[in-house]
Every structure is written in C-alpha cells, then in structure tokens.
Structure 1
C-alpha cells in the first residue's frame, strides 16, 4: 500500500522528475531545437526556410511545432484508455515504465538524426514526446496518494526541483561534448549534439529505476469496469465530467488551466527556436541562457510554494504569475537585442517552475481526497493540458506560416493567458480545500 508522507516514497517519486527532465531540457529546450533549426536552415538572412516531410512542404520551424502538437494529440487520445486500465488494475507504474522506455529509446535513436534523415528524426522526436508526456499522466496521479493536502505543494515543488537539478547536471556534461568535440574525437558540434540525445536516453532510463523500484503499485479497484477495455477510460472521463458539474471550483480552475496552459508550455517549447531564428543568437549563448533559466527556476518554484502556503494562497499566486506571463508575451513581441532576450529568459525562469508546480498541486487539493480513482482525475487534467498544447503549438506554427513571423504568434499566446486570468480571477476568494466526494 502507498505510504502517505513517507520520505523515501516522496524522494523516489521526485527522482522520476530527475530522470525525465533531462529530456525536457536537452530535447525540447536547448540542444535539439538549436540543432534542428541549424540543419534545416539555409542561414541566409531574411529567408523563409522550407522542408519536405511526408510529401508536404512546411516552414521548418512550423513543422517542429506541428510535430509536437501531433504528439500531444496522441497523448490526449491514449491517456484516457490507459488510465482506465491503470485504475482498474492498479498498475500505473507499469505504464510509467512503458512510456519511459518509448521515450528513452527514441532519444537514443535521435543520434542518427541528420538532414538526410529528416523524416526518421521527426518520427523519433514525436515518439520521445509521447514517451515523456505519457509517463507524466501516471507520475502525476501518484501525488495525492503519497502526500496529504497540506504537503502537496511542497512535494510537487520538490519534484520540479529534483528535475531542474538533474537536467542541469546532464546538460553540463552535454555542454562539454558540444563545445569541445575535438577533445573527444568527435567530428564536430553536430555529432556532439547527437551524442547528447543518446546520453539523455541513457540517463532517463537509468535514473527511472529508482522510482520503479520504490514506488508501490496502487491497489486494484474493488469493482472492475465491464465492457470494452478500450472505451472504459473514456467512460471514466465522462464520470469525472459529471462529477465536475458538482464541483464548480474545480471546473473553473480546469478552465483557467486550459487557457493558460496553451501559453506556458508553448513559450517554453519555442523559446530556443525563437532566439535562433528571430534574433540569430549563437547556439552556445542560447544553451547557456536556457541553463540559467533552469537554475533560476529552482528558487522560483520554491518561492511560489512558500508564498502560497504562508501568505497568499495558491489561486492568488497563480493570478500574479499569469499576469507576469502576459507581460512576457508582450515584451517578447518587441524584443530586438540579445540583452533584452536574456532579461526575458530570466523572468520566464522565475515563473515557469512555479506555475507548473502550483497548477499540479492546486488541482490535487481540489480533488475529493478519499477518491480511489485519482488516475482518472489526473488523466482528465492531462487531457485538458494536452488539448491546450495542441491548440497552442498548432496556433503558433499556423500563425507563423500565415504571417511569416513568429512574433505575431506571441500575441495569440498573450490572449490565451488573458482568458486564463479571467477564470482564475473568479476563484480569487475560493482557495482549494478538501472536497468531499459527490454522492
């Protein structure tokens, strides 16, 4: 049986963030997007670069956004099916393992991604994203089962802190290879970058063994769902939707989360591509900036947790953070210089970990704490986020293709944040408390 507030269990749970956050930093934030932009660009100023994929022609960076949007769509479809199975059989850890192996092996496969193997690289990039985000469905669902409501903010922030530290350590190792390839007998920065992708996969699967060994499987439901196993998960989501009608605060929070999630993850996923393409910043400086951003994010997440617990409460802190995000999007539209980009990155670093950590723990605190189907509730949470990401990433790519500039896409993201802020504002006097199950 899962231990509540057990230090070893919580530490093991947090190590899953340590293991997989290397993917989030190296593959989605630093080396991979910079590498992708370089090998698909002509490096001619004022030129729109196109690539061919599956017989279609795309703006190179738009294809990057579409690939991620497609991965999020797959997860949105798969997670209800898998969470329904995991809830009924008590085997969420099994699915964490499956998605971890898919993601880690795909990262290893990216070692073979070059300009001549674009289609293979994009497919592996999509599979790596599916592995990462799919595993988080079941990882997040452990939170209300290993920590009581008063501890969930702290435990959630601890997970993100472990993730930032672990990813930075591997990023430093990758730095050495990328900037000093000759020392290690590598052909250049390109091979060094691909070696980084291989190291991410090895790091991910190696450290994931800690939570796999120590996190217990949750008990099976007493009543096993009948009917088609492929549709039972969607039936579980429909039950969650029915329960939401009797949980107005949770429903309102999910609506707010849906809108601001369109912006948060999209900004984080396109930051490096934006700096490379719009400001022509050198890869080394971009990677260094994202590294600094990760370092700043650790105290940022802890600060948000402290403010919410001791002073303002979760909702008021989230309101303040979303307002800052709106300012970031507007400022990014006008940014022109390297120094301005660095200041903007520092601001993003302070707020990115806080909004992710607090969103997860706020949702957890709004849930009926004696519920036995946390995976279904968190599947609903993850499906909400993934659909938001599909819309956010697709909108960013489509507006760029339509207008020829990534800057115009930032205005759409700002509007998404404004919508999220409006729904959070309605909750400003309704801090999450223990909610009784609906009869």
Structure 2
C-alpha cells in the first residue's frame, strides 16, 4: 500500500466517523440515561434483578462494560495472530463492526424490565467496537509515515466527534419533539436512536472497507495460528525489557487509561444519578464535550509539535487529576458544566496523542506491527477492565459514585509518575512535520 496517500488516509479516518456514534450515543449519552430511567421505572428504584442477583443499576452497567473489555483483551492476541498470518485484518475488522452495529440495533428492543437483554446487547456492542479498533489502529503505520501520525490520528478522532455529534443532535431534536411522530412521550424515539447508530456505523464503514488494502503474504499453515497470537504478545512483552522507553510509556498508558475510558463510560450516569440532571441537559452537555474534544485533539497535537509529545501528555494528565478531584465536590448544574468543559478539552487530545505517540516509539522496522498494536490494545482493554470494575465496585460498596472519582484520580497520578520516567529521543518528536 502506498504511504501517505490522501485518499487512503481519508478513508481510514472515516472509520472514526462511522464507529464514534457508538461511543457517543450508546456509550456516553442517550443509552446510559435511558438505561437508568428505564430500569428505575421498571424496578421502582436503583436495585435491579439480573438473572436472580441484585445489583445497583449503574454498577451493573459498569460491570458489564468491564466484562466486555476483559473478553476483548483475552481474544485480541488470538485475532491479531490470525490477522498477521492470513493478511485478513480488514476481514476481522468487518466482523467486529457488524457484531457491534447489530448489537446496537438490538438495544431497540430494551424496554426496562428486560435488563438482561440490555446488558447482553451492551456487552456485544462494546466487544464489537473495541475489537474493530484493534485492527483499525494497526493500519496507521501501514498507510502513513511516522511524521504524519499525530495529525492523521487527530483528524480521525475529529471526524469521529463531528459525525457522532451530528447524529446525536438529530436524535436529540427528535427526542425533544415526540409530537412530530404522533407520540406523547420520548421512550420509543430514544429506542429508535439505538437503531440509527447501528445503521450509521455499518453504512459509513463501507467507505473505509472499500479503500483499505493489505499486502499479500504467504501463509505458513505449519504454525498454530491459534497459539501464535499469544506467542506474539509474549514476544512483545519480552522485548519491552530491552525497550525502557516503550515499557514505561505503556505502564503510564495502562494507569491513565483506567481513568480516561471510565470517565467516558460513566459521566452521563454520574450526572443523572448524583445531580439528577434531566436527560436533555445531559445529552446537550455530551454534545458540548465532544465539540470541545475536536478542538482539544488539534490543540494538543499542535502543542506536541511545538514542544514534545511527553510535554503535551503531562499537561493533559495533570488536568485529568484536577478533574477527578473537582468531580467529588460537584453538586450543581453549573459546576457540572464547568467540569464537562474541561473534560471535553482533554478527552480528544489524550486519546489521539496516546495512539500517535505509541506509533512513533514502537519499533519501526518490525514486520508484525499488528502484534505491537494488539499489545497496546490489550493494555488499554485491561486498564478499562480494572477502571470500570473499580468504579462499579466502589459505588456498589459505598453507595456513591463520588467515592469512585477519587480512585480515578489516583490512576491518573500513577500514570504521571511513570510518564516522568519516559525519555523520548528528540528525533521521534517530529516537530518540523
């Protein structure tokens, strides 16, 4: 595949446009709010019955997300190994895309009392989303040279935010005007929004699938491709011993990812339960957060260009620590809006720059880039498992999400400590790119 081809790069970025509607509508806004309200109405409170076991509704959702990421973390090496030795990264990316999209469509049938169905669909949607990202990320070093990674990564995230905001606004307008559809409440329209996510995701992903190409490789069937993925992950793990820059960076990434992803999943639930914010206010806040994330993606990419990637990441992590401490003391709408404003600025930047920084400092001449990106994704997924489980466990144990935010702050602080130990050579900063 030709490097730095504009058409290919644009098509790659369009997958962010396609799949980010899941991250915003299902993961961060309409579904969490609908889930909280629907389960409270169905069970007359926050305690729900899940296959005969009693859980706090939001804690159960947090556990479900944790489980889905654990599944992906376990199977990612397997999938990476198969993809490496069969030149079929795109095929597996398609599989997970369709799994996630159809699961979103399945959420249309969640009405409140069938909480088991909602959790199962949520788990498969999350597996589809995160599984497809494993293969999506592995295409970045194949389509562009390292000096272009920061801005391409930022462009992808920005397109994702723009597309997801567009669909979210459309759904919000429809939810706010049920009379347009001859309805007297918003329940059916909210459920219909889950359907639109699945169709949008599958539809726009076709642009990416059409343009991404893979070089043909001969397949050595004498090797066990089932085991090979795990061997490759272990190989990368052993190679980290001789790569201190990568080792400390991944350790830092592991800890601060516990916080970033958990905030993204649980922010709407926090506003709904702790502050009793109405659904339309929460969704509007999510729109603002993601609009600001576009600015943040480019702003911190520009900062890394002028200074260094490490400098940009350190500043964002310091802000994240402050966000977690401030969240504990948030009690009013306006305080929550201030919090959302800051989260928006650093949310896009931390994701975009983390991915591009890793693509720079990983070995550039290795033929198995998918294995390195699989290791990166497994690291992130395990971080989310611990982060979301900790968040749900603390809420289930103490009865308050506020206590969970303190734990997230500690994760970010540890991330800062390990990032301080990272010494990125100046030749990898690409300031003149």
TM-score between both structures, scaled by the size of structure 1:
0.95
1:37 lines up with 2:33 in the alignment: no
- Mapped pair 1:358 → 2:357: no
In 2: Cα distance, 1:242 partner to 1:80 partner: 15
Trace 1:72-111 onto structure 2 (pairs within 5 A): 72-111=69-108
Matched position secondary structure for 1:217: coil
- Residues 273-331 of structure 1: CA deviation (Å, up to 9, x unaligned): 0000000001000000000011111011000111101x221011101100000000000
- Spell out the pairing of 1:400-415 with structure 2 (5 A cutoff): 400-415=395-410
For each residue in 1:116-135, what CA deviation from the matched residue of structure 2 results, as whole angstroms up to 9, or x when unmatched?
22111110111000000000
Per-residue deviation at 1:89? 1.1
Name the structure 1 match of 2:237.
241
Question: 1:376-399 CA distances to partner (integer Å, 9 max, x unpaired)?
Answer: 100000000000000000000000
Please tell me whether the aligned partners of residues 99 and 125 of structure 2 are also in contact (alpha carbons under 8 angstroms): yes
Unpaired segments of 5 or more residues in structure 2? none
SS at match of 2:242: coil
State the distance in 2 between where 1:51 and 1:430 align.
52
Inter-CA distance 106–330: structure 2 relative to 1 (3 Å threshold):
same
Cα drift, residue 78 of structure 1? 0.9
Indicate the residue corresponding to 1:279 in structure 2: 275
Q: Aligned to 2:159, which of 157, 162, 167?
A: 162
- The corresponding residue for 1:254 is 250
Q: 1:146 aligns with which of 143, 152, 161?
A: 143
User: Does 2:291 correspond to 1:295?
Assistant: yes
Give deviations 1:163-221, integer Å, cap 9, x for gaps: 0111111111111221112202345211111100000000000000000000102432x
Of residues 259, 262, 267 in structure 2, which corresponds to 1:266?
262
Q: CA deviation at 1:226?
A: 4.0
State the alpha-carbon separation in 1 of the partners of residues 209 and 219 from structure 2: 26
User: Which of 177, 180, 183 is the aligned partner of 1:183?
Assistant: 180
- Name the structure 1 match of 2:198: 201
- Cα offset for 1:356? 0.3
Note the C-alpha offset of 1:224: 3.0
Runs of 4+ in structure 1 over 4 Å off: 428-432
Quote the residue 2:9 is aligned against: 10
Please give the alpha-carbon distance, in whole angstroms, between the structure 1 residues aligned to 2:152 and 2:185: 41
Counterpart mapping for 1:354-433 below 5 A: 354-427=349-422, 430=425, 433=428
Residue-pair matches, total:
429
Question: Residue 52 of structure 1: SS of its match in structure 2?
Answer: strand
Conserved 8 A contact 1:362-1:432: no
User: Structure 1 stretches of 5 or more lacking a match?
Assistant: 435-439
Please give the alpha-carbon distance, in whole angstroms, between the structure 2 residues aligned to 1:243 and 1:427. Answer: 17
Question: CA separation of 1:68/1:432 partners in 2, compared to 1, >3 Å: closer, same or farther?
Answer: farther
